[in-house]
Amino acid sequence: MTVSETPSCTVYFDGGCPVCRREIAHYRSGPGANGIRWVDASTAEAHALGPDLDGERALARFHVRTDDGRLVSGAAAFATLWQSLPTYARLGRLAAWPPALTVLETGYRAFLKMRPLWRKEAASR
Quote the mean pLDDT of the chain. 91
- Checking if the pLDDT of 122 tops 60, the result is no
Share of the chain above pLDDT 70, in %: 90
Q: Does 125 reside within a domain? A: no
Q: Check whether 1 has a pLDDT greater than 50.
A: no
In a domain, 29, yes or no: yes
How confident is the model at residue 121, as a pLDDT? Answer: 56
- Residue 91 in any domain: the answer is yes
CB burial of 61-95 (b: ≥16 within 10 Å; e: otherwise) equals: bbbbbbeeeebbbbbbbbbbbbbbbeebeeebeeb
Provide the pLDDT for residue 114. Answer: 87
The H-assigned helical ranges of the chain are 18-28, 46-49, 55-60, 75-84, 89-95, 98-124
Structural contact between residues 64 and 9, judged by C-beta atoms closer than 8 angstroms? yes
Asked if residue 56 is part of any domain, the answer here is yes
- The model's pLDDT over 28-85, given as tens digits with 9 standing for 90+, comes to 999 999 999 999 999 999 999 998 999 999 999 999 999 999 999 999 999 999 999 9
Quote the number of domains for the chain: 1
In a domain, 95, yes or no: yes
Answer whether residue 122 is part of any domain.
Answer: no
Range of 48's domain?
Answer: 9-117
